Structure 1
Amino acid sequence: MRRDLASNIADVPAIAPAVQSAAADGAAIDTKGFSSLAFLVNTGAIVGSGDFGVKLQESDSSGSGFTDVAADQVDTTAPATLTATSSYKLGYRGNKRFVRLALAKTGGTSIALGAIAVLGHPDHAPVA
């Protein structure tokens, strides 16, 4: 097995980088074949006192049944209100097959934001 990190993780777009002006659900990330998952969120400019936050949701199915992940199943550096030009990580410790990042809007106009899911501890390595 290779010892470099890049060969032992998979990266999947979770929320495409864009100016976000409303609440949005990210892509459903399939954890099959991996034992760990983290999301990396990157923010840019905030316009009009944008008040946005992120949370994780989980489901046994990719298309429906998503519920908020319990707080004790998430390790996060993200504050309740995201700040401009920052990066955050959200680690998932649950056991559902599908997990997504949800962007919440409490007020304001918009935030530039993108996110990627990083899947680790693969069943088979190296990861292509």
Structure 2
Amino acid sequence: MRDAYSNLLVKNTLTPAARTATVNGTTVDRAEDSSHFQDALVVIPVGTVTDGTHTFAVQESDDNSSWAAVADADLQGTEPAVTSSTDETVYEIGYKGKKRYLRVAVTVASATTGGVYGAHIVLANPRVAPVVRN
């Protein structure tokens, strides 16, 4: 069971869409299906961005209620601020923290037509494998 399919689970936090406003992603539970994933990777695929600044932030929570920005020391890579000059890129950010719940939030400024993007959290290294898929 060392294959990727048995040890990784990809969850949407921001469903890919055209966006012009600030939004918080949906919660991703690292204890999904009793697998208790030890690692997480945030993947942000960006399509066309026509205007505005779209600033991404990885957030964490112990209780799925109180959210805080992840400290830079618990991230591998940098959270992007995307403009029309940086579109059509895939960003990857590693998470080294210990909180159970994760999500991606985006703050949008000066957007009329906005941009197309999403955010996914890849959960890895489950304590129980193979991963159960719904």
Confirm or deny a common fold (TM above 0.5): yes
Residue 121 (1) aligns with residue 120 (2)? no
Are 1:52 and 1:107, in contact at CA under 8 Å, matched by a contact in 2? Answer: no
**Farther off after superposition, 78-87 or 24-33:** 78-87
Matches within 5 A, 1:20-39: 20-32=19-31, 33-39=36-42
Per-residue deviation, residues 50-94 of structure 1 (Å, max 9, x unmatched): 2112111111111x2101111111112543335211100111111
Distance in 2 (alpha carbons) for counterparts of 1:71 and 1:77: 8
1:54 aligned residue: 56
**Farther off after superposition, 71-80 or 117-126:** 71-80
Distance in 2 (alpha carbons) for counterparts of 1:122 and 1:41: 22
Scaled by the length of structure 1, what TM-score is found? 0.90
Deviation at 1:9, TM superposition (A): 0.5
Are 1:24 and 1:104, in contact at CA under 8 Å, matched by a contact in 2? Answer: yes
Residue ranges of structure 1 left out of the alignment (5+ in a row): none
Matches within 5 A, 1:29-108: 29-32=28-31, 33-47=36-50, 49-62=51-64, 64-81=65-82, 83-108=86-111
User: How many residues of Structure 1 are paired with residues of Structure 2 in the alignment?
Assistant: 125
Instruction: Give the match's secondary structure for 2:99.
Output: coil
Per-residue deviation, residues 105-127 of structure 1 (Å, max 9, x unmatched): 13233110011111000011111
Instruction: Give the match's secondary structure for 2:82.
Output: coil
Distance in 1 (alpha carbons) for counterparts of 2:4 and 2:79: 24
Per-residue deviation, residues 14-38 of structure 1 (Å, max 9, x unmatched): 1001001111111111112110011
Which structure has the highest helix share of the two? 2
Identity %: 32
Distance in 2 (alpha carbons) for counterparts of 1:79 and 1:39: 12
